[in-house]
């Protein structure tokens, strides 16, 4: 029994050693695989502040010299002199904006390359000549601008190139937007028919207004004998205190709901050609006559179709581009790594404090006096549409911002819908 037990123990021990060896080998293979696949943050070369993976070869590294040059330009743009020193709050603000603009340039050129979009040096020069003609009266003014902005000729050419690429990116993306279908056009028309394609009934009326009821009754008696335009002009001039007295009391194109009560209801209940009143209106009395009735008119679907199609097509382009921009920002941020001391939200290795940027610092004090309702929710501010608010007229619905759970409210488990973090809109270079 002892021998059997010993052999069993030896066998179990060997099995454990084999498993440990296999585990060690597995870990080693994983490490080798991780290194080969680039898992983890890449190292930033000495003398650089950031790298952008998958960017064009000559653009993937942001050197300290690139950053300092952009910082000087940003300070000039913000009219900040002298340049603040590191550690100063204004320096941090300028630093973040400067690095952001450098990254904009790299991201947009990288995105353009992946989409097969390019501009030639000749095209850039032609566009620059056009912009110079629009913005500067003389070559001297242009050179003064370069000096004040700390721009080299190469800087200007790059800015023009970026703007041209941005425009072409947007054009290419929006070309992929779906064309509105006949059913979408019809659904929109039905939803908007009453509010956008129907002109309500309107009436042309003449009025005499006066605080003295007796004078208004005299005016009515005269108009009942003769309600011609000429008679109205004479009577209004003699009896009315209203601003319309000089043109015979005429008010054209009056829509229902635009007059005070009870005048509004009486005007739209009256027959054309009848002199009505006197009616009280505030501190005055009114006599009126409906001179003309323009009936309600609804534009047909055929008449409105081209307008609706263009409107929905533009809406689809905006939605398509917005979706592209979200993906664009997420993609290029994941490829961007910044050196210590230069990490901003545009960097994949940025670590925030988890506080929404719009939050007041008082919300995070140990014993905050700020009411919870005044502080944003401690999660990204997702704004889903309120139930039932999505219609053909409002495809995004009425947004409902998330707020902190009110004190004393019952816990409700709700999984917020995720929102892909957005990026910088291509072309937002400040130019």
Give the residue carrying structure tokens 């123990």: 9
Q: Which residue has the higher pLDDT, 26 or 81?
A: 81
From the number of C-beta atoms within 10 Å of its C-beta (0-12, 13-18, 19+), residue 38 rates as exposed
**pLDDT over 60 (residue 33):** no
DSSP E strands, 103-231? 198-199, 202-210
Give the residue carrying structure tokens 């290795």: 349
Residues 6+ apart with CB under 8 A from 335: 52, 53, 54, 55, 348
Residues 6+ apart with CB under 8 A from 334: 348
Share of the chain above pLDDT 90, in %: 69
Which one-letter DSSP state was computed for residue 355? Answer: -
Which one-letter DSSP state was computed for residue 55? Answer: S
Tens digit of each residue's pLDDT (9 = 90 or more) over 47-77: 999 999 999 888 999 999 999 999 999 999 9
Tens digit of each residue's pLDDT (9 = 90 or more) over 327-354: 999 999 999 999 999 999 999 999 877 7
Structure confidence at residue 284 (pLDDT): 93
Q: Which of 143-147, 349-353, 384-388, 418-422 has the highest mean predicted lDDT (pLDDT)?
A: 143-147
Structure confidence at residue 29 (pLDDT): 39
Cα torsion angle, 240, 246, 250, 253, sign:
negative
Confidence of residue 368 (pLDDT cuts 50, 70, 90): confident
- The three state secondary structure string of 383-422 is CCECCCCCCCCCCCCCECCCCCCCCCCCCCCCCCCCCCCC
Give the Cα separation of 224 and 208 in Å (integer).
13
Residues 6+ apart with CB under 8 A from 336: 50, 51, 52, 53, 103, 107, 346, 347, 348
Tens digit of each residue's pLDDT (9 = 90 or more) over 277-296: 999 988 899 999 999 999 99
Contact 370, 363 (CB under 8 A): yes
Confidence of residue 161 (pLDDT cuts 50, 70, 90): very high
């Amino acid at each position: 029994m002892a021998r059997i037990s010993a052999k069993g123990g030896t066998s179990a021990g060997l099995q454990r050693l084999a498993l440990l060896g296999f585990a060690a080998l597995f870990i080693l293979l994983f490490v080798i695989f991780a290194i080969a696949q680039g898992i983890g943050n890449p190292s930033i070369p000495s003398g650089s502040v950031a790298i952008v993976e998958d960017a064009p070869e000559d653009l993937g590294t942001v050197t300290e010299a690139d950053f300092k040059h952009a910082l000087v330009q940003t300070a000039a743009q913000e009219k900040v002199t002298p340049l603040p020193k590191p550690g100063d709050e204004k320096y941090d603000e300028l630093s973040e904006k400067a690095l952001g603009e450098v990254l904009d340039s790299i991201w947009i050129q990288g995105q353009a390359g992946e989409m097969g979009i390019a501009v030639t040096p000749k095209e850039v020069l032609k566009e620059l000549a056009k912009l110079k003609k629009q913005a500067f009266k003389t070559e001297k003014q242009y050179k003064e601008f370069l000096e004040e902005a700390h721009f080299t000729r190469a800087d200007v050419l790059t800015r023009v190139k970026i703007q041209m690429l941005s425009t072409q990116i947007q054009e290419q993306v929006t070309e992929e937007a779906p064309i509105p279908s006949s059913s979408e056009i019809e659904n929109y028309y039905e939803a908007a028919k009453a509010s956008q394609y129907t002109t309500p009934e309107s009436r042309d009326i003449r009025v005499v207004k006066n605080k003295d009821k007796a004078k208004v009754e005299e005016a009515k008696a005269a108009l009942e004998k003769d309600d011609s335009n000429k008679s109205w002009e004479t009577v209004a001039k003699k009896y009315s205190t209203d601003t319309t007295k000089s043109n015979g009391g005429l008010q054209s194109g009056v829509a229902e709901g635009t007059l005070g009560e009870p005048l509004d209801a009486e005007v739209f209940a009256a027959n054309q050609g009848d002199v009505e009143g006197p009616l009280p209106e505030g501190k005055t009395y009114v006599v009126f006559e409906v001179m003309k009735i323009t009936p309600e008119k609804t534009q047909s679907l055929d008449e409105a179709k081209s307008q609706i199609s263009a409107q929905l097509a533009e809406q689809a382009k905006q939605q398509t581009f917005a979706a592209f921009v979200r993906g664009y920002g997420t993609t290029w941020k994941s490829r961007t790594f910044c050196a210590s001391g230069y990490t901003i939200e545009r960097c994949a290795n940025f670590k925030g404090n988890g506080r929404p940027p719009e939050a007041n610092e008082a919300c995070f004090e140990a014993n905050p006096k700020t009411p919870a309702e005044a502080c944003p929710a401690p999660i990204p501010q997702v704004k889903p549409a309120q139930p039932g608010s999505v219609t053909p007229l409002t495809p995004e619905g009425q947004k409902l911002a998330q707020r902190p759970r009110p004190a004393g409210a019952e816990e409700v488990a709700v999984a917020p819908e995720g929102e892909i973090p957005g990026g910088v809109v291509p072309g937002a270079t400040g130019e």
